C-alpha cells in the first residue's frame, strides 16, 4: 500500500474513534480523499478508452484482475449506496442524476457479480466522460455528508427498515458474490462504514488501477 495513503488512513482511523479528535479525523479523511481523487482524475488525462477497458491481469488474484473503468464504477456505486441509502437516507446520485442512462451502464449494481469477460464487456459499454461526472457528484455529496456528521452519529446502526428499503432498490445483485455486501454494511455502525467504503476501499482499488495503468504503459 502507498505509504502516504496508508499513514493517512491509519491516522484518521484513530482520530475518528475519539470525541476530542473526531473533527480532525474527518478533515484527515477528506484530505486523503482529495489526494486519491487527484490520482483518479489523472487517469482521465493519461489513459485512452482502450486503457480503461484493458485487463492485463485477467487471470490474477486480486483487485487488479479487473479494468480501471470497472473499478471506478465499483468504488463510487458502493459509496453512493452507503452514503445515501444507508447514512443520509435519501436518493442515490445515480438515480437523482439519471446517471445510468448517461453513463450507458447496463446495470445499477456494484458490479461485484461480474467476472472476467463480463467485466471487459461491461467496461466497454460505459461513457467514461459521464462516469467522471458521476464520480464528481458522488464525491461532492459524500463530502457534504461527512462534514455534517457528529461524533455521536458514529454509534448509529442501520435499522431493519433502512435495510429493507435498500434491498427493494435492487442495487446489490442477489448473486452470492455480491449479496454479502448488504450483511456487511448493515452489520456496521456509521463509524465502521466510514472506515471502509469512504477510505480504505478507495485505496485498494486505486492501487489496483495503478498496477493496470503501469502494465498498459509498459507494453506501449
- 134-182: per-residue pLDDT in tens? 999 999 999 999 999 999 999 999 999 999 999 999 999 999 999 999 9
Alpha-carbon separation of residue 207 from 20, 34, 44, 120, 137 (angstroms): 32, 15, 15, 19, 22
- 10-38: per-residue pLDDT in tens? 999 999 999 999 999 999 999 999 999 99
* Residue 157 bridge partners (DSSP): 189
Residue range(s) defining the domain that contains residue 161: 3-218
Return all residues near 203 (Cβ < 8 A) that are at least 6 apart. 1, 2, 5, 6, 9, 36
Q: Mean pLDDT of all residues in the chain?
A: 96
Domains in the chain, number: 1
d(CA 176, CA 173): 8
**Straight-line distance from the first to the last Cα atom of the chain, in angstroms, rounded to the nearest whole number:** 26
pTM: 0.97
Amino acid at each position: 500500500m502507498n505509504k502516504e495513503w496508508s499513514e493517512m488512513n491509519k491516522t484518521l482511523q484513530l482520530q475518528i474513534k475519539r470525541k476530542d479528535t473526531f473533527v480532525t479525523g474527518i478533515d484527515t479523511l477528506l484530505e486523503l480523499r482529495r489526494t486519491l481523487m487527484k490520482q483518479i482524475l489523472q487517469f482521465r488525462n493519461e489513459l485512452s478508452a482502450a486503457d480503461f477497458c484493458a485487463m492485463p491481469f485477467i487471470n490474477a488474484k486480486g483487485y487488479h484482475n479487473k479494468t480501471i473503468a470497472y473499478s471506478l464504477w465499483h468504488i463510487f456505486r458502493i459509496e453512493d449506496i452507503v452514503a445515501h441509502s444507508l447514512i443520509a437516507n435519501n436518493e442515490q446520485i445515480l438515480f437523482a442524476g439519471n446517471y445510468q442512462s448517461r453513463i450507458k451502464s447496463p446495470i445499477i449494481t456494484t458490479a461485484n457479480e461480474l467476472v472476467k469477460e463480463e467485466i471487459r464487456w461491461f467496461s466497454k459499454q460505459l461513457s467514461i466522460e459521464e462516469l467522471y461526472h458521476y464520480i464528481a457528484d458522488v464525491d461532492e455529496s459524500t463530502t457534504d455528508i461527512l462534514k455534517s456528521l457528529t461524533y455521536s452519529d458514529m454509534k448509529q446502526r442501520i435499522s431493519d427498515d433502512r435495510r429493507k428499503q435498500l434491498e427493494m432498490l435492487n442495487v446489490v445483485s442477489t448473486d452470492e458474490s455480491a449479496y454479502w455486501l448488504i450483511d456487511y454494511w448493515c452489520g456496521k455502525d456509521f463509524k465502521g462504514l466510514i472506515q471502509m467504503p469512504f477510505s480504505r476501499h478507495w485505496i485498494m482499488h486505486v492501487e489496483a488501477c495503478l498496477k493496470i495503468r503501469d502494465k498498459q504503459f509498459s507494453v506501449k
